[in-house]
Structure 1
Amino acid sequence: MVSLIIFFVFQLLPGNPAQIMLGMDADPAQIEQLEKELGLDYPPHERYMDWITGVLQGDLGESLRYGLPVSDILADRIPVTFSLAIISLSLTVLIGLPLGILIARADGKWSAVFLNIITQLGISIPSFWFGFLLILLFGVILGWFPTYGYVPWSEDFFGALRSFFLPSLAIAIGNIAIVIRYLRNTILDQAKMDYVRTARVKGLKMRTILYGHILRNSLIPVLTIMGLIIADTIGGSIIIENVFSLPGLGNLLIQSISSRDFPLVQSMVLYIAVFVLLINFIVDILYKIIDPRIRLKG
């Protein structure tokens, strides 16, 4: 279903790839000849069958713009987007979980109110705007980080980390705010449950109950939202990569749509869709690991 939607939606986009490649002043005969060479003269259903058959065999086709195998182009771009996503998710977990616990423990205090206001701002402001603010502050004013481009990991590990930090943080800020809100609300709800009152009556300290029981039960809804955050991170990278001029999938996707490079665009969107489905499948498995009481019913 995903492959069908991807293919036929892109067939509805205005613009002839052959004409875009040759220019607006190209001769109609040249355009027709290039369409035949690219296989664009075949009916859509035949082109779909050729494309999906190749995908199932590991052949993603050839880029109309670059004239190279799509798989080779994606192999060069995927590490950039993957690095961006991994660092962003790491920041989300390392910052979001401790702050969520901190706000829950300080519920009602001025510090928790202040952090709640900050998280509301984090949820409300889009990632690309955070990107511009981070570039202005840490790139232009302070000069701590580069404002565009990237350094490959193989050349300089710390240089690569510096080039990925600001775009990863721009994506992570909103996700951190979401994790904090969900974890805080879940912990407070769990703290009202009967098993917590029973543990308190038995003499257990609240810190022991929090980290030994409440936090484990609170991770289920947080894990659910993490699956959505991972998908949102991939989507957010499309804009952020263009803001920071990173040569990843997001940057390539925008260029490919502009040039009507259908084989490349279709393969990238299909890759992202399969990745999101895989992440949701892994999240379902993790439910069972975190809470063995959960059973999947047919």
Structure 2
Amino acid sequence: MMRIGLFLLTNLAVVIVAGIVLSLLGVNSYAANGGLDLGSLLIFCAVFGMAGSLISLFISKWMAKRGTGTRIITQPRTNQEQWLLATVKRLSDKAGIKMPEVGIFPARECNAFATGWNKNDALVAVSQGLLERMDNEQVEAVLAHEIGHVANGDMVTLSLIQGVVNTFVMFFARIIGSTVDRAVFKNENGHGIGFYITTIIAEMVLGILASIIVMKFSRWREFRADHAGATLASRQGMIRALQGLQLEQQRAVQSSMPDSLYAFGINGGLRNKLGELLSSHPRLEDRIRALQQGV
């Protein structure tokens, strides 16, 4: 119920903000004489395409904490928590960023994620399973990997790319819908049912194709974050951490992280069923090989 509530709240916020912005810009309709006003259409799509992505970015920490049940460490209760805080502090200083919030989320699988709207207001969290099944060298490398994401600005960049992709998916889907409605359904006086059906189908198809672009960037940033982990911590520790994740995949431990955070986790796991093109993470063997070769 919590995730459904957060989803509805996010979408309601998008609709309200987009409606206000469109009214201020004077863009009330993108239809023009039975066709499309491409300028108004582009503004319409840009507002809606970017709004959802940016709003999700700005509330990402809040959603992450609630979606995963992450407990933020403010006063360390154990030596392990004290070590976590000290390690994140040292790594973030080395990376030249403000120390992120540090948290632990209750999950059996080995995983971790970083999120936040900018590199000086971020959150780094690790799962309880990771702390239980990895040693300090491996955990330090995982933390360094996540801090690498923060220092590289990956959350912001991925959100902007997703927003731009959303914009053009909506834009071209409506052009296709209008063209089919006029050419096939002979509707010259506006947008009929053919427009809406075709637009929905086009958005689905274009959305899948666009996801290939977004996921390609996501896979590339994983290699960069692995390199950061090797630089900030140790190359051997990063390799050992990834090898530990391989063992987790073989055990097929079920994940309890929300799908919306999976692109920001260190472990893509076995959740990506549509193949490598639509996977947010490269294969672990490819990541290990890149580190072993010093790439």
Range of TM-score over shorter length: 0.3 to 0.5
Structure with a larger share of its residues in strand:
2
Q: Which has the larger radius of gyration?
A: 1
Higher RCO structure, 1 or 2 (CA under 8 Å, sep 6+): 1
TM-score normalised by length of structure 1: 0.33
Structure with a larger share of its residues in helix:
1
